A and B are shown apart, each in its own frame.
Chain A
């Protein structure tokens, strides 16, 4: 299941993803016009009040929201992982933590000792915070060029947030990271470049 050969790594100074005056939504536009670029090795945080369309902007990049105006440019062959905000509604599926990480090619070996026991447990036996950590880990350590993380600290305790800060600091040299978070302290601790959404 490992897919390490897929990882291209940060290859050039050209942006991985660039949005130019993008207006996005589902039935109608709910965010934009929005312009920013995400370069290799960069951590960018979309920041704005509730309902400003941060998640919609991220979904437009992943292809699950509609782009009404503007353009989203992507480097050819770009590999992208996407950790979605809503927790998996799929707990009845008999999958272990190790199998979840293996699906994305995520790195189980560097998971801290405190989380290693999660690898052998069925997903339905995990708490919301444990499942969230595994999902984020699966997307963040997958062999991709860009990781999209939507509210990665949801349901996660202080120790888990500290762990996420460590792994993002480690992984940012291997891939670009775009995140949505309401946790200002977390965003600042990462040294992320902040892109305001929904502010005139």
Chain B
């Protein structure tokens, strides 16, 4: 396998863009799982896809359409004071339904639709790279401010309320950040790859991490390594990137699960069984 292909000029921009996505999404996933709202990743990704398609049909910038629709959904969810996965499940099916209807009735959006749902990372350009890089910088600064507040509100739910303060603005800020991150990521790696990068590294990190800080590192490392492997396989075997990443992540998740069971002794042979 040629491990230098990803550094060739034609593939370098898509590779770096995806690497940024693979570093950023697991971090967002850690906090979405903290709030037991991991389904938000799929909801925001589906809505971003729907927004992008709508923008393409209207002749507007695709990225703006994705950002706008997922951002409106995050704001509406915060305004309605809905928490948990129920609201996100509704948003997810709404995004999927709208996308499929647009694809069925607007043949011009067909190419973009394939890119969004199959995850054709190789079609990303410098605009995707720079927008993702800018988001990574802004997101890192925002999360430095938000992290303790989100954790505190989860572990000591009355802490803000007892002091007459509201945590709503912190949740809204994070919702908007997650929506924007998923919109940028979906435009690059597609819906299911974005969701997988939020969900799987976080699931592994929650099982293996001994502290929050360590778990964040585990999630990012798992996401980036799986991404590099998937990118290389997709490139050298001429396969669509999104499904390859999803399959890679499933293999990684299964391996982590087996390792965990072995570590806890639950997969050792039971001597009472024949």
Which positions in A face B, CB cutoff 8 Å?
Answer: 1, 59, 61-64, 74, 78-84, 88, 90, 92-96, 98-100, 102-104, 120-122, 138-139, 144, 148
**Closest CB-CB distance, B231 to chain A, in whole Å?**
28
Pairwise interchain contact A95-B162, C-beta atoms closer than 8 A: no
Near A by CB (< 8 A), chain B positions 163-220 give 163-164, 205-206, 209-215
Which of these binds chain A: B6-14, B74-82, B148-156, B239-247?
B148-156
Please pick, from B34, B162, B206, B213, the residue contacting A80 in the complex, using a CB distance under 8 A: B162
**Do residues A95 and B212 form an inter-chain contact, with CB atoms below 8 A?**
yes
Partner pick for A148 among B162, B206, B210, CB 8 A cutoff: B162
Contacts of A62 in B (CB 8 A): 158, 161-162
If over half of B's interface residues share one DSSP class (helix, strand or loop), that class is named, otherwise mixed; here it is helix
Tell me whether B159 is interfacial, beta carbon within 8 Å.
Answer: yes
Whether B148 pairs with A1 at a CB distance below 8 angstroms is: yes
Q: Which residues of A are found within 8 Å of B156, using beta-carbon distances?
A: 81-84, 103-104, 138-139
Shortest 8 CB-CB contacts between residues of A and residues of B = A94-B209, A96-B211, A62-B162, A80-B162, A82-B158, A94-B215, A63-B161, A103-B152
**Contacts known (A93-B206, A95-B211, A95-B212); A104 close to B152, Cβ less than 8 A:** yes
A-B contact count (CB 8 A): 78
Number of B interface residues in the complex (CB < 8 A): 23
Shortest Cβ distance from A166 into chain B, in angstroms?
23
| Nearest A-chain residue to B149, judged by Cβ | A103
What is the CA–CA distance of A1 and B211 in the complex, to the nearest angstrom?
Answer: 15
Report A87 CB to chain B, min CB distance, Å. 12
Which B residue sits closest to A103, measured CB to CB? B152
Whether the Cβ atoms of B159 and A95 lie closer than 8 Å is no
Q: In the complex, A59 Cα to B115 Cα: how many Å?
A: 52
Contact partner, B212, options A63, A96, A139, Cβ 8 Å: A96
Neighbour of A64 across the interface among B158, B210, B215, CB < 8 A: B158
Do the beta carbons of A99 and B212 come within 8 Å of each other?
A: yes
Chain B hits for A144, CB < 8 A: 163
A81 contacts B213, CB within 8 Å? no
Least Cβ–Cβ distance between A41 and chain B, in angstroms: 19
Residues on the B chain within 8 Å of A139, using CB: 156
**Which of A94, A102, A103 is within 8 Å of B210, CB to CB?**
A94
B174 to chain A, nearest CB (A): 16
How far is B211's CA from A100's CA once the two chains are assembled, in angstroms?
A: 10
Name the residue on B nearest A63 (C-beta). B161
Complex alpha-carbon distance, A103 and B159, angstroms? 10
Q: Closest chain A residue to B219 by CB distance?
A: A94
A92 to B214, CA, bound (A): 14
The answer to whether A95 touches B206, judged by C-beta atoms less than 8 angstroms apart, is: no
Report Cα–Cα, A122/B206, bound state, in Å.
11
Contact B162 A94 (CB under 8 A): no
Question: Which interface residue of A78, A95, A120 has the most chain B CB atoms within 10 A?
Answer: A95
